Amino acid sequence: MNASTSEDGLLRHCRAPEARLSARAIHREVHRMHDPREDPMAKTAIKIDQSISSQHWLDQAADPLQKTLHPIIHRSRGVADALHGRWLGHPLHSVLTDLPVGAWMTAQAFDMAGLLGSSRSTRSLQRSADILHALGLAGAMAAAVAGMADWSDTRGDAKRLGFVHGMTNLVVAGLYGASLVARKRSRRTLGITLSTVGFGLLGFSAWLGGELSYRHGVGMRGKARRRTKASPDQRDVTDASLPQLHTLGPP
């Protein structure tokens, strides 16, 4: 069999109807793989989100707090815009949260390393961890102010989820504050225990923040939040109008 005969056979195989896979079929399969409802972990995340945001009894505490905060924050348009991050082009809160998360994550690593190091290196690691704990608390307070500004404009499910997010952060800050006090009183084991619990809650709170931003759109403004309708040309796409992709393997 010569080369031209082999090429002709391969082309005939690629053109066979059973070897064709439409672009629409590929799109459906890719969408299925990336659809969060098809992922077990994503399903769990959605259920947790919905279970929190559907707790209407939270409104009893969230509504009075929101009614108090909103007029204070929006008393000055310039202050409100600054806290919302309009001058940055995106929410200020998301920038400020990097400071406490980064500081406390590094402090956690220093604490763990200090437990395993020599006496000399341990003292240095302990001092560094204590400083980072204090910096994290300062950053958390700044992030909280910007976060409250964004939350004051929320409604419904986002309001309830944001309220839990804020209360969780309050507990986290309390644990880190108590940890600092324990460290200053030479009760380092207690201090490390408190900050470790706080670090675990911080991870949960950070996930809640992600849900608020990317699932509920809190802080997303302008073009980022607008959902455009598909044009007639986009809606009327058919298999015949899509390019055909050919598989080279057996059907």
The domains of the chain are located at 59-220
The pLDDT of residue 231 is: 43
Asked if residues 154 and 218 have their Cβ atoms less than 8 Å apart, the reply is yes
CA distances (Å), 34 to each of 30, 39, 42, 190, in order?
A: 6, 8, 10, 44
Residues 6 or more apart whose CB falls under 8 angstroms from that of 240 comprise none
The pLDDT of residue 30 is: 52
Residue 227 has pLDDT above 50, yes or no: no
Residue 36 has pLDDT above 80, yes or no: no
Nearest to 49 by CA among 171, 155, 207: 207
The pLDDT of residue 120 is: 73
Radius of gyration of the chain (CA): 27
The pLDDT of residue 249 is: 42
Q: What is the dihedral of CA 82, 84, 86, 92, to 10 degrees?
A: 90
- List pLDDT tens digits, range 123-149: 889 999 999 999 999 999 999 999 999
Phi, psi of 22 (to 5 degrees): -65, 150
How large is the average pLDDT for residues 51-64? 94
CA distance 179 to 191: 4
Q: Residue 232: exposed, middle, or buried by beta-carbon count in 10 A (0-12, 13-18, 19+)?
A: exposed
The mean pLDDT value of the chain amounts to 80
